[in-house]
């Protein structure tokens, strides 16, 4: 474990326990930064951090307004590592903090480990066909961490060192309006069971079959990228892979998914992968724990009957 501070920063309190658990396994002190008033910090008290600093973002403001205040807090340390969640906001904030700390930013980091006194970040490159390991050559490092990189710890004592972050927001961005997204999203990162729908599904109405299976399994429904991007049968937030959501449920059931490396990169941390595909040469069979060669239109109804 390194004798230094890690800042765990998230615009989504739900991602904080995972970031803090990872940070705590790597460094002696973890400071969490949340966006909102003191009640947001109180709500995050069980995240596992040694201290929590909150940034009271105004209704018209944005987390990025606090980049300078966060960088100033980081600079109080001789060396520090800044981890942010890998959301769009997290990446914007990371860029600004990186500039202010005069250090590069690594995005979509899938794993961080301590080796020989340094933090090594690993992430997928070349469309998921290779993995690159990098470390910062400067005293400060900034990285956005993909969901599922760490395992959150449960039952932690509530943090009592809670205070407002020192410094004023810059106010460079002003929100004009906020509208709810029309597409209903699912939280695949937190799902314990997922039915993963691929292009083997012949028609949009057949999603009802997949949803029925998900219902009896108590699972969420996710998909491969073309099902969301090309067919537009499910929201884009439902597709898994290196450019989509990275999940690690207890079990994932891949229906008519070929198993291309870009998709596997998003599901390969699942505890158990079950694949149903009619092509016995499909690459998914090299990446699953249980494989069924056959027509999903015959197997899924039989599974629903058996499991109901």
Quick one: which of 22, 263, 270, 288 contacts ligand FAD (CB under 6 A)? Answer: 263
- The verdict on 295 binding ligand FAD (CB under 6 A) reads yes
Q: Report the b/e string of 232-266 with b at 16+ CB within 10 A.
A: ebbeebbbbbbbbbbbbbebbbbbbbbbbbbbbbb
Closest contact distance (angstroms) between CB of 286 and ligand FAD is: 12
* 160 to 199: interface string for ligand FAD, x by CB under 6 A: --------------------------------------xx
Point out the residue whose Cβ comes nearest to ligand FAD. 241
Copy the structure tokens of residue 149: 């990189």
Closest contact distance (angstroms) between CB of 79 and ligand FAD is: 34
Q: What is the CA radius of gyration of the chain?
A: 21
HSE-CB for 253 with a 13 A CA cutoff? 20
Closest contact distance (angstroms) between CB of 303 and ligand FAD is: 13
Quick one: which of 243, 269, 285, 304 contacts ligand FAD (CB under 6 A)? Answer: 243
Question: Which helix (H) or strand (E) element contains residue 55?
Answer: strand 51-55
Burial (CB count within 10 angstroms: exposed 0-12, middle 13-18, buried 19+), residue 160: exposed
Closest contact distance (angstroms) between CB of 203 and ligand FAD is: 11
Reference 49, options 153, 190, 148; nearest CA is 153
Query: How many amino acids of this chain bind ligand FAD (CB under 6 A)?
Result: 28
Alpha-carbon span 71 to 24, nearest angstrom: 20
Interacting residue ranges for ligand FAD, rule: CB under 6 A: 127, 198-200, 224-227, 239, 241-244, 256-258, 260, 262-263, 266, 276-279, 282, 295-297
């Amino acid at each position: 474990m390194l004798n230094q501070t890690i800042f765990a920063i998230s615009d989504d309190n739900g991602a904080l326990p995972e970031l803090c658990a990872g940070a705590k396994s790597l460094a002696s002190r973890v400071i969490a930064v949340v966006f909102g008033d003191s009640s947001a910090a109180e709500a995050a008290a069980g995240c596992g951090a040694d201290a929590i600093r909150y940034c009271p973002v105004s209704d018209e403001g944005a987390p990025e307004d606090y980049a300078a205040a966060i960088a100033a807090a980081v600079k109080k340390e001789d060396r520090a590592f800044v981890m942010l969640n890998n959301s769009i906001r997290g990446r914007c904030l990371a860029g600004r903090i990186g500039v202010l700390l005069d250090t590069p930013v690594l995005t979509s980091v899938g794993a961080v480990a301590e080796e020989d006194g340094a933090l090594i970040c690993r992430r997928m490159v070349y469309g998921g066909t290779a993995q690159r390991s990098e470390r910062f050559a400067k005293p400060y490092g900034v990285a956005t961490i993909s969901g599922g990189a760490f395992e959150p710890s449960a039952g932690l004592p509530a943090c009592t060192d809670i205070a407002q972050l020192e410094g004023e927001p810059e106010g460079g961005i002003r929100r004009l309006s906020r509208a709810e997204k029309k597409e209903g999203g699912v939280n695949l990162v937190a799902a314990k069971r997922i039915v993963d729908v691929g292009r083997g599904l012949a028609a949009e109405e057949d999603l009802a079959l997949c949803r029925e299976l998900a219902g009896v399994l108590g699972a969420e429904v996710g998909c491969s990228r073309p099902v969301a991007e090309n067919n537009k049968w499910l929201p884009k937030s439902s597709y898994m892979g290196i450019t989509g959501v990275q999940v690690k449920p207890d079990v994932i059931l891949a229906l008519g998914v070929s198993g291309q490396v870009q998709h596997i990169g998003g599901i390969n941390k699942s505890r158990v992968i079950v694949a149903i595909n009619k092509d016995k040469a499909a690459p998914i069979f090299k990446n699953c724990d249980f494989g069924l060669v056959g027509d999903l239109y015959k197997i899924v109804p039989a599974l629903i009957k058996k499991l109901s």
